[in-house]
Amino acid sequence: MVGQLRPLESCCRMNAPQCPACNGSGAPFKTAGDYNRRVSNAVFHYFTCSACGLIFCDPVPKDLGAYYQDDYYDLPADLAAHDARARALQQWKIDEVLTFSKGGRLAEIGPAYGLFAYLAKAAGFDVTGIEMDARCCNYLRDVIGVTAVHSDNAALALPTLEPFDVIVLWQAIEHLPNYHDVLRAAAAQLKPGGILVIDTPNPAAFQFKVLGRRWVHLDAPRHVVLIPVETLKAQADAAGLDPIRLTASNVSANGFNGWGWAFTFKNYFGDNIVGSAVHFAGRVLGKLLIPIERTGWRGSTYTAIFRKRAIP
């Protein structure tokens, strides 16, 4: 259930902000409210970097953690329910990883309550999760049985850990104001030949062009950055990472395409009979738009997998 609206906050600025990744100048892009969860009635401002193309929120709310309310994480009732949910929703993720890495140490940044972490452990990986939510950390340790590091700054947490064979961020990097620092820290903590997996909303998505600020994957203010794939590739290259898989039409993108139409429509009309009807209509529309959204890098999300270069 969505919590009571917080008071209106001041989230505007008069001068052009600097890009958090490259310090380039930001040009106004979109303004948006918290249409997904309605935690507050604030307006949030997004800018596009004139240098690297990053889309970023500025200013980031000082109380950003307040926008992740208790119902943000829906913990399973028991391990059997966890297993069923993990295999139904996230089996494709471990299949992606196993294509490029067969085992070793794996870190997940932003695992929440660990659907993927559970599957990775079952596949034989030694799993560590870096998670900001204390309740989820306890669940990861006590129920899933993996190492959990309670931190809201993965860039600082990663250097304290031993190197990894795999580091993953599933729909997580867009939540990180210092994502570029996290990217570099992840690259530094990968073993040579190790892989970094990033799954994130696609700012080139067909849905974003049509729906604009109402697009469910903009998710203001929780999504503080939207990273064009070419921007991510350039930043990864500078960190010593080579792309080995780039796709906006895999299981993730295809699933989020239909979900995006349905929930954007429902969020607009509210949790009522009309909202339920347009939610269904959005699902139907998603089916009709499959030929468009599964081609030409138009999917709602993209998955990028990089391999760390061997030391010369």
Q: What percent of the chain has pLDDT over 70?
A: 95
Reply yes or no on whether the pLDDT at 3 is more than 60.
no
Q: How confident is the model at residue 312 (pLDDT cuts 50, 70, 90)?
A: low
- The per-residue pLDDT for 272 is 85
Rg (Cα) of the chain, in Å, rounded? 19
With H, G, I as helix, E, B as strand and everything else as coil, classify residue 165: strand
Q: How confident is the model at residue 8 (pLDDT cuts 50, 70, 90)?
A: very low
C-alpha to C-alpha distance for 281 and 155, rounded to whole angstroms: 42
- The per-residue pLDDT for 268 is 87
Residue 40 corresponds to which tokens in the numbers above? 């507050």
Q: How confident is the model at residue 10 (pLDDT cuts 50, 70, 90)?
A: very low
Any idea which of 182-186, 187-191, 192-196, 271-275 has the lowest mean pLDDT? 271-275
Locate all alpha helices (DSSP H) within 101-199, ordered by sequence: 115-122, 134-139, 154-157, 179-189
- The per-residue pLDDT for 16 is 85
Strand order through the sheet with 43-49: 26-33, 43-49, 55-57, 225-226
* CA end-to-end span of the chain: 54
Residue 89 corresponds to which tokens in the numbers above? 């929703």
DSSP character string of 42-67: -EEEEEEETTT--EEESSPPTTGGGG
- The per-residue pLDDT for 11 is 52
How far CA 163 is from CA of 94, 157, 193, 235, in Å, comes to 20, 12, 12, 20
C-alpha to C-alpha distance for 54 and 36, rounded to whole angstroms: 22
Q: How confident is the model at residue 311 (pLDDT cuts 50, 70, 90)?
A: confident
With H, G, I as helix, E, B as strand and everything else as coil, classify residue 151: coil
pTM over 0.75: yes
**What pLDDT digit, counting tens, does each position of 262-303 carry?**
999 999 888 888 888 989 999 999 999 999 999 999 999 999
C-alpha to C-alpha distance for 56 and 225, rounded to whole angstroms: 4
**What pLDDT digit, counting tens, does each position of 49-87 carry?**
999 999 999 999 999 999 998 888 889 999 999 999 999
Q: What are phi and psi of 56, to 5 degrees?
A: -140, 150
Q: 24 with 49: CB under 8 angstroms?
A: yes
